[in-house]
Amino acid sequence: MTRYLAIASIVLTAARMAAAQTVRGDSAFTDLHRDGNGIAALTASISTAFADVSAASALRAIAMSSRIDLTFDPSLPGLAKRVLVSSHERTVAAAILEITEPSGLRPRVSTSGAVIIVTAPASAKPTAATSADSSRGPVTLPTVRTDALRSERRSFESQTNVGGVVITGRELRVSPTFVEPDLMRSVQLLPGIEARSDWSAGFNVRGGEGDQSLILVDGYPIYNPYHLGGLFSTFIDATVGSVELRKGALPAKYGGRLSGVLDVQSAEPMSDEKHGSGEVSLVSSSMSVGETFARGAGSWTVAARRTYADAIVELLTPYSFPYHFQDVQGHITREFGNGVRVAATAYDGLDAAAGESSDEVGGNWGNAVVGASIAKRLDEHPRFGRLSLGDSAILEQRLSLTHFGANADITASIFHAHNSLSELRAAGSVASYRGTTTRSLGYELAQQRINYVARSAYQQLGDFIPFDSLRQRSTWAALYADQVWRPIDPLLVDIGVRLETVPTASWAGVSPRLSLKYFLSPSVAITAGAGRYAQWMHSLGREEEPVQPLQFWIASDSHAPVSTASDATIGLERWVTPRRLFHVEAFYKKYENLLIPNIDNDSRKIGDELSALGGYSYGVDVLLRQLDGGPFSGWLAYSYALNSRVGADGVRYFPTQDRRHNVNLVGSWKLGSLTLGARGNLASGMPYTPVIGGFRSTRYDPVLHRWTTATNEELIPGRLNSRRLPWYTRVDVSVNRRGHLFGLEANPYLSIVNVFNAHNPAGYLFSFSGRPDRSSFPNLPFAPTFGVSLAY
């Protein structure tokens, strides 16, 4: 078990060794040379230093940072040798040889770039492997080829993956950044994903509203993962291991949202030496540290981030800047020899603002998530009574507590806002594996407490923070069943059903799910999927506002029905080369009882916060992706989508997120110690409501019984969303240099957003006093930012 774990721990994706193992002749492997044997990944430059670490740790670190497939038997004696290598530029191949040669080891490489470490022969002898007596020493494995697949390729081969994109945290960082790397902003560059404006880190999936995507951290929900009014997400870049984005045909284990799921998995360290990183940007500083323990059976990471503008302003000036945000995140895993695995994740974040007098102005908001899981793997044909659980099974139980809270007070305006949402969720599943068939049965049970109050004497603030007052206690439960199997060899089927109930909304429903993948060849597949979904948590944010400081959530109840939707998807996925893939997918979605914030909401009434409408979306997403592992990586994404809504009054309109065309070209080039990044975006304009005039409205004075002279400007709107903003263009560039500073790996970066300073309006502000004009509320202008990331 330990050997399996040790091998698996240095393979860059979790390989299913039993399923993937094939026996081949030794002619597939040749000795590795310093020139990398012509393999691009092995000729890439690396500068990592190793200070008194084991050869095994050093090799793992090289494999991780270079993303190469590297395998060895951890019992090889040479792997325990301590190595000392100073920091200097060399190829990955040379770095491996630096470790193996003094350690009596011999690296061999296959034509596909997989590297295997064996014992260096004492004398020339045939390298064809023979079975070795493991009790006498090292075991040579060249006769065994482990197909250690990239996560994306493994997903292609083993999952229907309809509407899904798997991407690592590392690949999300290839694009130029605004201030600092941000997961959510990188997700916005994928096909089928729209952002309301450059000021928002949130996103819309295939024309859905912004609250229709479920965001998970290691499978635990988080409700408002944004800082600074949506400008940044709460994910600390160093903690992101991989991201799975699902845009449709959601598997049965996901529920509660109509459009998508973003499941962010924490990065897990692979080295038994403590490693960490830090980052300093224009806005914040962050650091992370982690290591494995118990001989690789466990791992832990801790990360933290804080802005420092408030400290610097107070230090250097007589003024104060009373705002900051901070995040802390931790993740721990432990596998035990009896097949038990436990894991826990915790996150806490805060935005805090205060005025000059904290008695008069103040606010804070933030998320907290705590989740734990325990899983037990049952091998050897487990049974539950007389019921067979297949060849093996995994039982898992999860428990999480999610909390979001926001408070703001401005005494002079009699403004008070308070929102708190707490969700306690228990979930469990049993997954049974038999051959190529996987059956899952699971449940979810959740209780939510929601309090929302917002009021002010200033009506305009209600556009951004809706005025209302309500208190809710909501519960929901779900049971799901899912089966993935191959009825015939080229056909992979994932069929499932989800039974859901929201007793506090007097609703219960059945949501069937189906997705198919038919392999035309090992690298080409046609996909199709369909499903039905329900959503009972709704945001009070209005899509037409280009800036939404916060999302406030309320639950469906007797006044607000549960929203439902159906979708259908068909697509084609083709692996052009082992690192290049092409994916095209067409979709159609239909919405019923779609709840959006009621613009006429009366804060003194309960039940009118949301209004229901119907609608549909359809379109096509295209993705051509070059995975990393070579000098160039990136993707070309194109989306076409048409979104339509119809209100209770029968009026049909295009919602604000109806962006018809969106092209994103993202690329990263490694040139020695430099990495150049670029991103180009061309998109058609989003709809907006034109304002056709203004007038001055007057107040009646009941004290003097006459009309006052005080007037306020009111606007006269045109037809809802009847015009479109101009086409959006933007080019971002970045440069990152790998170097060293005081013995640490230091990567300074410079990033320029909107390098040509294209004027892209996010909306318009109209004025009809004096000379009538329209001012554009801009998206991000030319914005150079810089920072440095450190690693040790």
Partner 1 sequence: MRTRSILCAGLLATACVDQTPVTPTANSVIVLAVIDASVNDQTFIVQTTTGAENQQRDVKGARVTITTPDGRTIPAAEVPDTIPPRFTGDARVINTRYRASFASVGGIALGGTYVLHVVLADGREVHGATTVPVSATTTSPRLPDFDRRHDTLSLAWPPARGAAAYEVFISAQTTFNVFSDTAIVIPGLAENEDGNPAFWPGLTNRIVVNAVDANYYDYYRRTSDIFSGRGLINHLDGAIGVFGSIAPIASYTLVVH
Contact between 269 and 792 (Cβ < 8 Å): no
Nearest Cα neighbor of 298 from 329, 349, 341, 252 is: 341
Q: Which one of 384, 707, 727, 756 is in contact with partner 1 (CB under 8 A)?
A: 707
**Single-letter code of the amino acid located at 781:** P
Nearest Cα neighbor of 551 from 203, 237, 783 is: 203
652 binds partner 1 (CB under 8 A): no
Segment interacting with partner 1 (CB under 8 A) among 128-136, 241-249, 434-442, 768-776? 768-776
772 binds partner 1 (CB under 8 A): yes
Q: Which one of 547, 568, 646, 758 is in contact with partner 1 (CB under 8 A)?
A: 547
768 binds partner 1 (CB under 8 A): yes
Kindly list the distances between the CA atom of residue 379 and the CA atoms of 341, 394, 506, in Å, as whole numbers in the listed order.
Answer: 14, 9, 42
- Shortest distance, CB of residue 286 to partner 1, whole angstroms? 25
Pairwise CA distance, residues 133 & 448, whole Å: 59
38's tokens: 């012509």
- Shortest distance, CB of residue 438 to partner 1, whole angstroms? 49
The contact mask relative to partner 1 for 719-758 (x = CB under 8 A, - = no) is -x--------------------------------------
Name which of residues 439 to 458 contact partner 1 (CB under 8 A).
Answer: 457-458
Segment interacting with partner 1 (CB under 8 A) among 53-61, 315-323, 339-347, 461-469? 461-469
Contact between 672 and 89 (Cβ < 8 Å): yes
136 binds partner 1 (CB under 8 A): no
777 binds partner 1 (CB under 8 A): yes
Question: Is 134 or 712 the residue whose CB approaches partner 1 more closely?
Answer: 712
The three-state secondary structure class of 161 is coil
703 binds partner 1 (CB under 8 A): yes
Segment interacting with partner 1 (CB under 8 A) among 44-52, 475-483, 508-516, 701-709? 701-709
651 binds partner 1 (CB under 8 A): no
- Shortest distance, CB of residue 774 to partner 1, whole angstroms? 5
618's tokens: 């359809």
**Single-letter code of the amino acid located at 478:** A
Q: How many residues bind partner 1 (CB under 8 A)?
A: 69
- Shortest distance, CB of residue 778 to partner 1, whole angstroms? 5
DSSP-derived secondary structure for 324-343 = EEEEEEEEEEEE-TTSEEEE
- Shortest distance, CB of residue 453 to partner 1, whole angstroms? 14
- Shortest distance, CB of residue 689 to partner 1, whole angstroms? 4
Name which of residues 239 to 278 contact partner 1 (CB under 8 A).
Answer: none
Question: Is 509 or 694 the residue whose CB approaches partner 1 more closely?
Answer: 694
Q: Which one of 24, 88, 295, 604 is in contact with partner 1 (CB under 8 A)?
A: 604
618 binds partner 1 (CB under 8 A): no
The residues that bridge with 70 in the sheet, in sequence order, are 115
- Shortest distance, CB of residue 766 to partner 1, whole angstroms? 7
The contact mask relative to partner 1 for 326-365 (x = CB under 8 A, - = no) is ----------------------------------x-----
Helix %, strand %, coil % for the chain, to 5? 10, 55, 35
761 binds partner 1 (CB under 8 A): yes
**Single-letter code of the amino acid located at 336:** F
631's tokens: 């000098």
Helices (H), 21-82: 40-43, 55-66
Nearest Cα neighbor of 656 from 623, 680, 687 is: 687
The three-state secondary structure class of 95 is helix
The three-state secondary structure class of 453 is strand
Contact between 215 and 130 (Cβ < 8 Å): no
Question: Is 52 or 600 the residue whose CB approaches partner 1 more closely?
Answer: 600
233's tokens: 């997400």
HSE of 207 in the Cβ direction (CA atoms, 13 Å)?
30
Contact between 452 and 470 (Cβ < 8 Å): yes
Nearest Cα neighbor of 288 from 277, 300, 274, 298 is: 277
Kindly list the distances between the CA atom of residue 124 and the CA atoms of 76, 127, 132, 205, 671, in Å, as whole numbers in the listed order.
Answer: 19, 9, 17, 60, 38
The three-state secondary structure class of 481 is strand
CA dihedral sign, ordered 255, 258, 261, 262: negative
The contact mask relative to partner 1 for 525-544 (x = CB under 8 A, - = no) is -------------------x
Q: Which one of 696, 743, 756, 784 is in contact with partner 1 (CB under 8 A)?
A: 696
412 binds partner 1 (CB under 8 A): yes
Segment interacting with partner 1 (CB under 8 A) among 554-562, 672-680, 745-753, 763-771? 763-771
648 binds partner 1 (CB under 8 A): no
Nearest Cα neighbor of 325 from 180, 189, 426, 465 is: 180
Segment interacting with partner 1 (CB under 8 A) among 295-303, 425-433, 643-651, 707-715? 707-715
The three-state secondary structure class of 689 is coil
- Shortest distance, CB of residue 207 to partner 1, whole angstroms? 19
688 binds partner 1 (CB under 8 A): yes
Nearest Cα neighbor of 462 from 563, 331, 377, 552 is: 552
- Shortest distance, CB of residue 703 to partner 1, whole angstroms? 4
121 binds partner 1 (CB under 8 A): no
Q: Which one of 340, 607, 708, 727 is in contact with partner 1 (CB under 8 A)?
A: 708
Q: Name the site residues for partner 1 (rule: CB under 8 A).
A: 360, 411-414, 457-463, 544-547, 599-600, 602, 604, 688-689, 691-710, 712-718, 720, 759, 761, 763-766, 768-778, 780-781
